[in-house]
Amino acid sequence: MPPVTFKIAEARARFSELLARVKSGEEIIIAKGAQPIARLAPISASAERETAPLAHLNLPADLFDTEDVDQAAIDAGDHNDALGIWRGHPNGN
């Protein structure tokens, strides 16, 4: 069955209906004007993601408990280079 195309406004107004159609196996194209921009399609069983992809690695529970001072500084807006970390913009701005 070929996909059915809906303009954005109509898709927005009928979104619940479109999801029900996708759930039953239909593919829907969303278009802005004549340009297709998105596709609603059912998720195949093979496309579903594993819920815990790293569980088999048996990582320690406290792996991320220690604070990385350098990363905390970067996250706070500081910059770094090969020589270290400084506050503010590297050009002094």
User: pLDDT for 43-83, tens place per residue?
Assistant: 875 566 666 777 778 877 787 777 777 777 767 766 666 55
The DSSP code for 44 is P
pTM over 0.85: no
pLDDT tens digits for 4-52?
999 999 999 999 999 999 999 999 999 999 999 999 999 875 566 666 7
Band of residue 93 on the pLDDT scale cut at 50, 70, 90: low
Q: State residue 67's pLDDT score.
A: 77
Dist. CA 79–CA 50, nearest whole Å = 36
Q: Token pair for residue 18? A: 């479109």
CATH assignment of 4-44?
A: 3.40.1620.10
